[in-house]
Every structure is written in structure tokens, then in C-alpha cells.
């Protein structure tokens, strides 16, 4: 059995869902429309007691949608600034003396590379890496061990001798 709040919310969604969707389609990036509409509906649910009566609700909902759209645009701008910043600070701009190490890192799969970087650059132990990646600590330990061996072999292939082992050990100094 639905409560009065749920019944009122369902009536609101039926009344304003399509007009809000059209409003957002005309103003938002197509990929963001559904997310902004969902955020708007969440605000309606949370503020159900503040929502005007059905006859006066649409302008109020447009105001909420406008605010949610502004929040989404600000979040997208922050995301783009972060992507730009990360692009400027990636290993691609690393000192030339580590080119071989970065080339060797690129031979690893994406998840193995992330595990190695979390260990070497962020100083995380397998348990911490497990929390970041969603793997078990045991799986991280196995991946890390295998990835380090693969890195060392790749570096030895490029350098000859035991230089690969030494560079992998020093990986956390980069």
C-alpha cells in the first residue's frame, strides 16, 4: 500500500514528467537530460511537502530543473578542468630518463597498470589497492607480483642484464 506522500509524488511525476523532459531536452546536452531529470525528481521527492498544488506546480518544477541543470553544468566544467589537468600531468610528460619504464608500464593491461601505479606512486598496500579496485587483497597481491615480474622482464629485454629488476624496485621513487 502506498503512502499519501508516494501517491502525491506519483501524481506529480505523471503531471510534470513529460513537460520537464521537453524543457530539459531544449536546454541540456542530450547525454545529460535523463540524469538532470532524475535529479529534479529526487528534489521533488525530498521536498514533497514544499511542492505547490498540482495546478501551480509546473513553474516551481521548472525552477528546480533549472537549478539541477546549473549544478550539472558546473559539475561538467569541473570534470573537464580535472581531465585537462590530468592530461598535463600524466606520465607522458615524465622526465626522459624514465621513458623505458613508462614504455614498459604501457605493456601491462589497464588493471595491472593501475595496481602497479597505486603501489608504486600512491604507496598503497594490497589491502588499500583492493579497496580502490574492487579486487580482493589476495588478487591484488598476485596481480602485483606478476605485473612486477613482467615489468622487470620487459625492462631487462630493453636494457639487458638486471637493470629491469632495479628499475621496478625504484618505481615508487618516480
Q: What is the DSSP track for the chain? A: ---HHHHHHHHHHHHHHHHHHHHHHTTS-TTTHHHHHHHHHHHHHHTTTTSPPGGGHHHHHHHHHHHHHHHHHHHHHHHHHHHHHHHHTSGGGS-GGGHHHHHHHTTS-HHHHHHHHHHHTS---HHHHHHHHS--HHHHHHHHHHHHHHHHHHHHHHH-TTHHHHHHHGGGG-
Task: Please indicate whether residue 79 or residue 86 has the higher confidence score (pLDDT).
Answer: 79
Closest Cα to residue 116, out of 74, 154, 87?
154
HEC secondary structure over 129-145: HHHHHCCCHHHHHHHHH
* Cα 118 from chain centre: 16
Task: Please indicate whether residue 120 or residue 89 has the higher confidence score (pLDDT).
Answer: 120
pLDDT in tens, 53-75: 888 899 999 999 999 999 999 99
Average pLDDT value for residue range 80-88: 76
pLDDT over 70 at 174, yes or no: no
CB 64 within 8 A of CB 43: yes
Cα angle: 65, vertex 71, 72; to 5 degrees:
90
How much of the chain, in percent, has pLDDT values that exceed 90? 41
Amino acid at each position: 500500500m502506498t503512502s499519501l506522500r508516494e501517491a502525491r509524488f506519483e501524481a506529480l511525476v505523471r503531471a510534470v514528467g513529460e513537460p520537464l523532459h521537453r524543457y530539459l531536452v531544449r536546454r541540456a546536452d542530450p547525454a545529460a537530460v535523463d540524469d538532470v531529470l532524475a535529479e529534479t525528481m529526487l528534489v521533488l521527492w525530498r521536498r514533497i511537502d514544499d511542492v505547490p498544488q498540482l495546478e501551480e506546480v509546473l513553474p516551481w518544477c521548472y525552477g528546480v530543473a533549472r537549478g539541477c541543470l546549473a549544478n550539472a553544468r558546473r559539475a561538467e566544467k569541473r570534470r573537464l578542468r580535472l581531465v585537462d589537468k590530468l592530461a598535463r600531468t600524466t606520465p607522458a610528460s615524465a622526465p626522459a630518463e624514465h621513458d623505458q619504464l613508462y614504455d614498459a608500464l604501457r605493456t601491462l593491461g589497464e588493471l595491472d597498470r593501475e595496481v602497479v601505479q597505486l603501489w608504486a606512486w600512491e604507496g598503497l598496500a594490497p589491502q588499500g589497492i583492493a579497496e580502490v579496485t574492487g579486487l580482493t587483497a589476495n588478487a591484488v597481491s598476485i596481480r602485483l607480483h606478476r605485473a612486477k615480474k613482467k615489468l622487470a622482464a620487459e625492462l631487462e629485454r630493453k636494457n639487458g642484464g638486471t637493470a629491469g629488476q632495479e628499475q621496478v624496485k625504484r618505481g615508487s621513487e618516480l
